[in-house]
Amino acid sequence: MNQMILEIASQRRRVLVAVLVLLLLNIAVLVVLKGYLASAISDAQTKWGDLRRRVAVAGQNDAATIYRRGKAELEQVRGRIPHKSQFPRLLGGIFDTASSDSVRVVTVTYKPTQVKENSALLSYGISLSVSGRYAAVKNFLADMQKHGEMIVIDGMTMANSDPYEENVVMDLHLTVYLREVP
């Protein structure tokens, strides 16, 4: 067996030398990559990640950017607050929502108050009682939450006095914010 290997080696000497040279070259490249370049690549990746984080944070925490973004968001909120003269339209919108959701408005009471922190802002506390089937009352409540103006649902109660008939009565307490016309 050894004799046969020696004969093959002597006949294919050039091929074996080439394979050994390539093997040694491959081992040398692997040693260089693992030893020297791996730490350099790791350091470069760490620096790159730090630079990306700094750029991302710098764009978010720049005082001027934060101020501009906050001012734009305040303007959006102000745009959603209707004028005091729009209260009848807003109340009519609530009645239209009730009608489209097939609920009956039983009672409505409202009381305007001045917002202490902002003299140009009014808040109307609205209490309304609606009745109808449970699904219709639930849809009305969902539509009230989707309303475009500044309407806040403060609380609600539901009751069904007749166990044999599906007629739910919901008392809803809302706060509507309106601004004084300058």
Q: Averaging pLDDT over each range in 2-6, 17-21, 114-118, which range is the top one?
A: 17-21
Query: pLDDT digit string (tens) for 128-151?
Result: 999 999 999 999 999 988 877 778
How many distinct structural domains can be found in the chain?
A: 2
The domain containing residue 51 runs over which residues?
2-61
* Structure confidence at residue 62 (pLDDT): 67
Q: Quick one: what percent of the chain has pLDDT higher than 90?
A: 29
The Cα 17–Cα 15 span in angstroms is 5
Same domain membership, residue 163 and residue 103: yes
Tell me which of 39-48, 70-79, 113-122, 130-139 is least confident. Answer: 113-122
Q: Does position 43 have pLDDT exceeding 70, yes or no? A: yes
* Structure confidence at residue 140 (pLDDT): 92
Same domain membership, residue 109 and residue 24: no
Strand, helix or coil at 102? coil
Same domain membership, residue 127 and residue 55: no
Given pLDDT bands bounded at 50, 70 and 90, which one contains residue 182?
low
How does 11-20 read in b/e, with b if 16+ C-beta sit within 10 Å?
eeeeeeeeee
Taking phi over 0 as left and psi of -120 to 50 as alpha, with beta for the rest, 59 belongs to: alpha
Residue 73 lies in a domain: no
Q: What is the mean pLDDT of the chain?
A: 85
Residue 75 lies in a domain: no
Residue 71 lies in a domain: no
Residues 6 or more apart whose Cβ sits within 8 Å of residue 24: none
Same domain membership, residue 47 and residue 96: no
Residues 6 or more apart whose Cβ sits within 8 Å of residue 50: none
Same domain membership, residue 167 and residue 105: yes
Residue 128 lies in a domain: yes
Same domain membership, residue 112 and residue 56: no
Q: Using an 8 Å Cβ cutoff, are 150 and 176 in contact?
A: yes
Alpha carbon distance, N-terminus to C-terminus of the chain: 107
Residue 68 lies in a domain: no
Given pLDDT bands bounded at 50, 70 and 90, which one contains residue 35?
confident
Same domain membership, residue 92 and residue 138: yes
Same domain membership, residue 159 and residue 129: yes
* Structure confidence at residue 61 (pLDDT): 63
* Structure confidence at residue 157 (pLDDT): 93
Which CATH number characterizes residue 168's domain?
Answer: 3.30.70.60
Same domain membership, residue 53 and residue 20: yes
Q: Does position 58 have pLDDT exceeding 80, yes or no? A: no
Query: Any idea what DSSP says for residue 36?
Result: I
Strand, helix or coil at 157? strand
Residue 87 lies in a domain: yes
Same domain membership, residue 174 and residue 97: yes
Residue 114 lies in a domain: yes
* Structure confidence at residue 170 (pLDDT): 93
* Structure confidence at residue 166 (pLDDT): 84
Same domain membership, residue 128 and residue 43: no
Same domain membership, residue 93 and residue 151: yes
Q: Does position 39 have pLDDT exceeding 90, yes or no? A: no
Q: Using an 8 Å Cβ cutoff, are 122 and 177 in contact?
A: yes
* Structure confidence at residue 59 (pLDDT): 59
The average pLDDT across 76-97 equals 87
Residue 69 lies in a domain: no
The residues with which 130 forms a beta bridge, in sequence order, are 105, 170
